Amino acid sequence: MTLQCQAVLEELAAFQDGELKVERQFEIQTHLTSCDSCRQEAKAQESIRQGLRKLRQQDAMVRVPTRMWANAAQEWDRRDARKRMRVQMRLGFAGACMLLFLISAVWARLAERVDFPVSSVMQDFRMVRATKVTPEFETADPDAAAQWLRKRLDSEVPPINLSLSQGRLLGVDVVKLAGTETGRLLYRGPQGLIGVYITPRGTNFANLEKVTFEKREFERDNTSKDIGFYGWQQGKVGYGLALPQPMAAGTGFALDAERNTAEPKR
């Protein structure tokens, strides 16, 4: 590195901020035109600036606290007596901002509500009824089924025992519906096959009818002639019950299943 390069790097941040006298700005611009090493350093610093500007634009999307940007502005404007130290501090701070952005983005992703795949659930249940699907894990034990699902979905899932409604567990699967990993419990009841579907974070039941039975709230789809659907949310998990029409005959199953999920047991 030449003495001229060293001098340019020490004043590079001030040059990019337009803080130097016109003559010195021109000298540094001329040097950058002819010096590949210094030009690459200038491009790297400008790239960091652009990254921070993008982070500012995405602030509302990931809900990063306003005070973080205020602190960032204070840190960015802080001047150090030595120009090289200022550049190094900015590089380190930029890395910290990007790390905070990634953490905030992950947090926002984990906290968001996902649409429950109601249409896909009803289509899947029709297929199950028509083809007599055999569950991947055949069991009549709700506790064993819940333990199996916890490992597959990486989510807290309670045992769902529908024996009070005369529902007998046949087994459990994990199926991908509308791009979402969904647990599927199949039961045999007096009116035929019953399906309970479980989707972590799938807690948004868009445009469904809200109904209440025994002071318990459900989202209902009663528009199909052959299949009905009850949906509900517990914590960060969405639940859906698919059953043959008429739906009125399956209200007891919905209440029974919702009570199981409202009081999870290990």
Span 105-134, mean pLDDT? 78
Summary mean pLDDT of the chain = 82
Cα 71 to Cα 74: distance, rounded to the nearest angstrom:
5
Whether residues 235 and 129 share a domain: the answer is yes
Are residue 240 and residue 215 in the same domain, yes or no?
Answer: yes
The sign one gets for the Cα dihedral 258, 176, 130, 203 is positive
- With contact defined as beta carbons under 8 Å apart, do 171 and 134 qualify? yes
Q: How many residues does the chain have?
A: 266
Q: Give the count of domains, the chain.
A: 2
pLDDT at 111: 46
pLDDT tens sequence across 192-236 = 999 999 998 888 888 899 999 999 999 999 999 999 999 999 888
- DSSP lists the bridge partners of residue 239 as 198, 232
Range of the domain at 178: 118-262
pLDDT of residue 180: 86
| More confident position, 153 or 49 | 153
Q: Is 194 exposed, middle or buried (0-12, 13-18, 19+ CB in 10 A)?
A: buried
Higher pLDDT, 143 or 53: 143
Mean pLDDT within 175-189 = 92
Would you tell me the crossing angle of helices 83-111 and 36-57 to the nearest 10 degrees? 40
- Residues 248, 202 share a domain: yes
Does 106 lie in the same domain as 175?
Answer: no
R_g (Cα) of the chain, nearest Å: 30
Q: Tell me how far CA of residue 195 lies from CA of 11, 78, 114, 122, in angstroms.
A: 69, 62, 20, 9
Last residue within a domain, chosen from 95, 111, 127: 111
| pLDDT in the model for residue 106 | 47
CA distance 13 to 3: 17
Q: Are residues 37 and 146 in the same domain?
A: no
The domain spanning residue 129 has which CATH number?
Answer: 3.40.1000
Task: For residues 147 and 229, state if they share a domain.
Answer: yes
Same domain, 56 and 92: yes
Residues 6+ apart with CB under 8 A from 163: none
pLDDT band at 88 (very low <50, low <70, confident <90, very high): low
- 33-73 pLDDT, tens digit each: 888 888 888 888 878 777 777 766 665 455 556 666 566 55
DSSP of 176-218: EETTEEEEEEEEEETTEEEEEEEEET--B-TTPEEEEETTEEE
Same domain, yes or no: 107 and 170: no
Could you give phi then psi for residue 169, rounded to 5 degrees? -65, 135
Are 37 and 152 within one domain?
A: no
Whether residue 53 is found in the same domain as residue 132? no
